[in-house]
Amino acid sequence: MLTESIHQIGAAAKAAARKLAVLSSAQKDKALRIIADLIEEGAERIKSENARDLQQGKEKGLSKALIDRLTLNDQRIKGMADGLRDIANLKDPVGEVLNINRQANGLEIGKVRTPLGVVGIIYESRPNVTVDAAGLCLKSGNAVILRGGSEAINSNLCLADVLRSGLTKAGLPAETVQVISTTDREAVQIMLKMDNYIDIIIPRGGHGLIRAVVENSTIPVIKHDKGVCHTYIHKDAELEMAVEIAFNAKVHRPGVCNAMETLLVHQDIAAKFLPKVGERYQKAGVELRGCERTRAILSSAVAATEDDWYEEYLDLILAVRIVDSFKEAVDHIDQYGSHHSDAIVTTDYQTSRDFLAEVDSAAVYVNASTRFTDGAVFGLGAEIGISTQKLHARGPMGLEELTSVKFIILGNGQIRE
Amino acid sequence: MLTESIHQIGAAAKAAARKLAVLSSAQKDKALRIIADLIEEGAERIKSENARDLQQGKEKGLSKALIDRLTLNDQRIKGMADGLRDIANLKDPVGEVLNINRQANGLEIGKVRTPLGVVGIIYESRPNVTVDAAGLCLKSGNAVILRGGSEAINSNLCLADVLRSGLTKAGLPAETVQVISTTDREAVQIMLKMDNYIDIIIPRGGHGLIRAVVENSTIPVIKHDKGVCHTYIHKDAELEMAVEIAFNAKVHRPGVCNAMETLLVHQDIAAKFLPKVGERYQKAGVELRGCERTRAILSSAVAATEDDWYEEYLDLILAVRIVDSFKEAVDHIDQYGSHHSDAIVTTDYQTSRDFLAEVDSAAVYVNASTRFTDGAVFGLGAEIGISTQKLHARGPMGLEELTSVKFIILGNGQIRE
């Protein structure tokens, strides 16, 4: 029964995707703008459905941070609508011809950008993801199946209703956007096996969610895993710059994935650098967890355990380690990091080049804060997430990363000899 | 015990991959040329190990076709060596900077092409895949773990030995290429769960192998699934051209994945077209399996069943169906095809454009034989296979498809405000 209804959703998405693939940009943009208006007009209804989720969340004892992420107020509702209008203004990647070359036999062979088809998104509490993801998928010509967290189910179903009204009003298939309406966990298991209907699964959430998806999906997955980001202060770093970057990377917004979690410091600069940055951290209320040598310099630091090097705190907590060499820093990043965003602060040309070449992360920085890893900053216009894997998309994913390509071959009777 | 040894292979590959990622093209090309020479020098030993596989294969009653695929003779050994030299002459994709843009705050943000890391290849009987795949992975800076079929185990281990000698001679880590030496099926299961060591799995083989990999892998997979390719003859097709293309697509080399398996014919042209092409097929010994309307025109055709439309014959057998309309042809391709290579023959401009837009396959043709879907023909230099999925790589996969990218961010002290 459940299997059947989830399969129906898959089949309907696939049918919608075929129609979406051949729409003009103007048709898709019109739908995005209609939906944006309907979201603003429906603010009261959205807030009242959201209030039911908030009430249940409070009864269940959700943390203050989770309640905050779950909350939709007028400003956030306007934000969702404006987000859709921004997406409407972005360039449509579909249909772009990447190159066409003529072969000796006269065949013209090229590549054209196409939608992926059907995108499945599995996410946790923030209901605005429902609208952002649907908007990005629509613009890139994909149908989307959304599976949000049970805490946000009323908000998500209400938003889906608005989205589908807008699609219908614009003359597009309502099945372009479908939200799985049951909170039964079994529904996700069924969804993850529908590789005949779904072309890609994007899980967004904690490490547990990501692992469960990776381990059970027969559909290709693009992971948006944790960000264990490092800043490494090389021995020759400019001291003031190093302090500013290390401070910004940790303190500017500690709850996000591009915030620094571990600070690595070359032994030759530690005695000068750590007291300076330590003072800044102390004033900002950052808890430090250091290696033994760090604690010899910064007495306020508690002892770091092996686990600390793997930790994504998402909080005002920082692991600090003194390393003997550049190589030790790079090895640490390789072993403990999540290959998200990692920075070096150095004045040496060759060291900067070695860091860029040897650190195998989605974003590798020289002399800047890791906080810049972001679709908007990187010029993608909008992002559906930040991929921490190497296949298909790496780092911030925008519209282009929601597309595939196909080869087109234009002939006038060529056969293979 | 087995788990431990497979994990050791994974860890060794990952360590080798870190070294490979920073090699110059010259170092990699030198190794490829050394290996090519060693393969030619080792021809006698390779043939004698191959003879053991052939002997066992014959005892096990392998089909003639399989024995042929398994066979290494002087010509094929030279072919493998020359293939490596060709790869050495290709452009190295690693290190290519795709673009660097300067932001308002002075940050320079760009993308650089990197190796994927560790590639796992699971394949069936052809031992030359061992050398081809190793060469392509080496050139693109990836370590590779190869798991070939049990029928070819002696050939594969011998080839791996030659490959590793060459790597050592060139000063590269021998662990760049590792062949799993046990034929225990459990080894594959262990390999498919090592997402901490392996970045991508490429299965090459029959549908059963592909499904088993997709269903069990926690590592991203690039499928090289079957080719159920179509040629659709539209009502206005030029008759002679249609006959030549339909004949070539089926008969030129029926055993490969880009050969046509189903011929779709518009009802308005069927009475003129089918007798002409049918005569050609008959002379070539092609068995036809037709729909009822086809059989009314071609009495030699046997009745096609529903299963025939899904079939990849890889043989001189062809399914033939008369359709009422363009739409019915496109729907048939969507429903029964494997989204590999599909062609239309038409003289109408808009119909050609609609076919290119609506058919969702890796290669979509107008007025040419599907037999051209091939890495060399498409200008990739060499191919590791033909992807039938939409993520990361679609259609023929060359060196570039064995790479990822990373963002590099060059600053002079930028922090996020």
At A294-345, the pLDDT tens digits run 999 999 999 999 999 999 999 999 999 999 999 999 999 999 999 999 999 9
Q: Are B16 and B164 in contact (CB under 8 A)?
A: no
Quick one: pLDDT band at residue B382, thresholds 50, 70, 90?
confident
Whether residue A348 lies within 8 A of chain B, CB to CB, comes out as: no
Cα-based angle B293, B297, B302 (whole degrees, multiple of 5): 70
B64 vs chain A: nearest CA distance in angstroms?
25
- Same domain? For B110 and B88 the reply is yes
Handedness of CA A297, A303, A307, A311 (dihedral sign): negative
Structure tokens at B199: 């970045």
Q: How far is it, in rounded angstroms, from Cα A61 to Cα A66?
A: 10
pTM equals: 0.92
Q: How many whole angstroms separate alpha carbon B314 and alpha carbon A333?
A: 49
| B362 interfacial to chain A (CB closer than 8 Å) | yes
Whether residues A214 and A269 share a domain: the answer is no
**B390 contacts A200? CB cut-off 8 A:** yes
ipTM for the predicted complex comes to 0.92
The answer to whether the beta carbons of residues B300 and B268 sit under 8 Å apart is: no
Residue B221 with chain A: CB contacts under 8 Å: 220
The answer to whether residue B384 is domain-embedded is: no
As a whole number of angstroms, the distance between CA A213 and CA A321 comes to: 33
What integer pLDDT is reported at residue B272 of this predicted model?
A: 98
Ramachandran assignment for B248, one of left (phi > 0), alpha (psi -120 to 50 degrees), beta (any other): alpha
Among chain B residues, CA nearest to A247: B415
Q: Residue B83's pLDDT is what?
A: 94
Rounded Cα distance, A238 and A235, in Å: 9
Question: A344 and A296 in one domain?
Answer: yes
Residue B17 counted as domain residue: yes
- Does residue B368 share a domain with residue B234? yes
Q: B238 pLDDT exceeds 80?
A: yes
Q: What is the CATH number of the domain that holds A307?
A: 3.40.309.10
Give the Cα separation of A166 and A36 in Å (integer). 8
Residues from chain B contacting residue A119 (CB–CB below 8 Å): none
Phi, psi (5° rounding) for residue B60? -80, -5
Q: Are strands B385-387 and A403-414 parallel, antiparallel or unpaired?
A: unpaired
In chain B, residues with a C-beta closer than 8 Å to the C-beta of A244 are: 413, 415
| Residue A197 sits in the same domain as residue A256 | no
pLDDT, residue B371, reads 97
- Which residue type is seen at A222? I
Is residue A93 in some structural domain? yes
Give the model confidence (pLDDT) of B175-205 as tens digits: 999 999 988 889 999 999 999 999 999 998 8
Q: At A322, is the secondary structure helix, strand, or coil?
A: strand
Domain containing residue A16: 2-225+389-410
Quote the pLDDT of residue B394: 95
The residue among B134 and B124 whose pLDDT is bigger is B134
User: Given an 8 Å threshold on Cβ–Cβ distance, is A112 in contact with B367?
Assistant: no
Domain assignment present for residue B52? The answer is yes
Q: Nearest CA to CA, how far is B93 from chain A (Å)?
A: 14
In 3D space, the residue among B362, B364, B340 whose CA is nearest the CA of residue B352 turns out to be B364
Beta carbons of A265 and A325 less than 8 angstroms apart:
no
The CA distance from A404 to B337, in Å, is: 18
Q: Which residues of chain A have pLDDT under 50?
A: none
Q: Hey, what amino acid is at A23? A: L
Please report the pLDDT score of residue A125 as a whole number. Answer: 72
Q: Give the helix/strand (H/E) hosting A110.
A: strand A108-115
Helix, strand or coil for residue B52?
Answer: helix
Q: What would the two tokens of residue B49 be? A: 């190990």
Nearest to B339 by CA among A8, A405, A7, A401: A405
Integer Cα distance of B165 and B54 in angstroms = 25
**DSSP assignment of A24-42:** -HHHHHHHHHHHHHHHHHT
Task: Based on the fold, state whether residues A215 and A95 are members of the same structural domain.
Answer: yes
Half-sphere exposure of B79 (CA within 13 A, CB side): 12
Q: Quote the CA–CA distance of A70 and A54 in Å, as a whole number.
A: 7
Q: Is residue B380 part of a domain?
A: no
Claim to verify: residue A76 and residue A64 sit in the same structural domain? yes
Give B409 to chain A, closest Cα distance, Å: 5
DSSP assignment, residue B224? B
B173 and B277 housed in the same domain: no
**Whether residue A269 is found in the same domain as residue A175:** no
Provide the pLDDT for residue B265: 98
Helix (H) / strand (E) element for A46: namely: helix A43-60
Contact A70, A127 (CB under 8 A): yes
Is A28 among the domain residues?
yes
Do residues B40 and B162 both lie within one domain?
A: yes
- CATH number at B162 reads 3.40.605.10
Q: Amino acid letter at B148?
A: G
Q: Are residues A127 and A239 in the same domain?
A: no
Percent of chain B with pLDDT over 70: 100
> How many domains does the structure of chain B reveal?
2
Q: Is A248 exposed, middle or buried (0-12, 13-18, 19+ CB in 10 A)?
A: buried
Residue B302 domain flag: yes
Average pLDDT, chain B: 95
The model's pLDDT over B280-339, given as tens digits with 9 standing for 90+, comes to 999 999 999 999 999 999 999 999 999 999 999 999 999 999 999 999 999 999 999 999
Q: Does B357 touch chain A (CB under 8 A)?
A: yes
Q: How far apart are CA A109 and CA B377, in angstroms?
A: 9
Q: Are B206 and B313 within one domain?
A: no
Asked whether the predicted pLDDT for residue B206 surpasses 90, the reply is: no
Q: Is residue A378 part of a domain?
A: no
Element containing residue B405 per DSSP (H, E): strand B403-414
